[in-house]
Structure 1
């Protein structure tokens, strides 16, 4: 079976190819699928990477073309996260654009909830998992410039993620507060009015 063939065997055959044959192989891979094309563009092209293709695939993972929401009733969260993983592999040193894409994942999930109503627990767990990864990076003092750059979008998430179920809004706020406090911003994400009353 093809799946039993090891990378070392494939590598041995690749090393036999001349430059023209290698380029033809890469061209065939490029043309074989949209994800291959996007991966090669992100890996090879220098300078600013275009996130449109990655964002479009994340959007598709959350939304269908139907005006009534996801066609099968559930967003394809695994597919959305796979896009994040793919970008990270293609551009391992491109931290800013990776954070941009992670925030887009959370923003798209937030938009879905705003449009179609409260979702299920594992949906919010997925958003918070990605937000937790973002927080770990943005909390670092050496990433203050990135924190400042993304702060307007973090504020939008704070506002737009209010009132969601399964404890999502509180958990999101905790993560946002943690990021802000790491950079001396105590009151950037103030307690909601009902939270202040409870305490």
Structure 2
């Protein structure tokens, strides 16, 4: 059973400042997510950059670890993206991690050949989300445009994978289709 927010507020209002500080410190000591959240809140961009690089490394390790073969636990890699977003609320870096996930997936399938339908579906779904974010924000698109183009050019043909990525890419409002350009 979870306490409701109104009930929590009622209890917290009864605490003295020292008790509130002790409670926050206890949460900080026992919960890594709270540590990351408070670090990003109070230390700002410096802490967020560290968290970003940690998440990026964990994603990379699912595909290409320093030793051995990747475990390809896509759910673990996606969990890193969600956790990063939750503790930092940094939209741009979240999209960067999402795109990095797809880049790693494309690199993996290029290195090891056909994977599974679930693998390709996960890559397509994540790329779709990146495309939606880039469609909403032209600056975000400009920031990631070369990487987006790289993904679709490197993605292997067949099984509809590259085609699905291309469809998502060209759904972005800011993409100029060379065939549509008039000279």
Structure 1 match to 2:53: 52
Q: 1:113 to 1:15 in 2, by over 3 A?
A: farther
Show the counterpart of 1:144. 138
- What is the CA distance between 1:37 and its match in structure 2? 2.7
Q: For residue 91 of structure 1, report the CA deviation from its aligned partner.
A: 3.5
Partners of 2:34 and 2:97 in 1: how far apart?
Answer: 18
Consecutive unaligned residues in structure 2, runs of 5 or more: none
Residues 128 and 184 of structure 1: CA distance in aligned 2, closer, same or farther (over 3 Å): closer
Q: From 47, 71, 76, give the equivalent of 2:73.
A: 76
TM-score (norm 1): 0.72
Tell me the residue number matched to 1:166: 159
* Among 116, 120, 123, the residue aligned to 1:120: 116
1:44 deviates by: 3.9
Alignment partners' CA distance in 1, 2:61 and 2:20: 33
Report the CA distance between 1:105 and its aligned residue: 1.6
- Residues 110, 156 of structure 2: 8 Å contact kept: no
The root-mean-square deviation of aligned C-alpha atoms, in Å, is 2.7
Are the aligned partners of 1:144 and 1:183 in contact in 2 as well (CA < 8 Å)?
A: yes
Q: Unpaired runs of 5+ in structure 1?
A: 189-199
Partner residue, 1:176: 169
* CA distance 1:6–1:34, change in 2 (3 Å): closer
Per residue, is there more helix in 1 or in 2?
A: 2
Q: 1:69 to 1:35 in 2, by over 3 A?
A: same
* 1:171 Cα deviation after fit: 0.7
TM-score between both structures, scaled by the size of structure 2: 0.77
Using the TM superposition, give the Cα deviation of residue 122 of structure 1 relative to its aligned residue in structure 2, in angstroms: 0.8
Q: Report the CA distance between 1:103 and its aligned residue.
A: 0.9
Superposition pairs of residues 99-114 of structure 1, within 5 angstroms: 99-114=95-110
Label 1:82 to 1:184 Cα distance change in 2 as closer, same or farther (>3 A).
Answer: closer
Look up the match of 2:27: 29
| Kept after mapping to 2: 8 A contact 1:38/1:53 | no
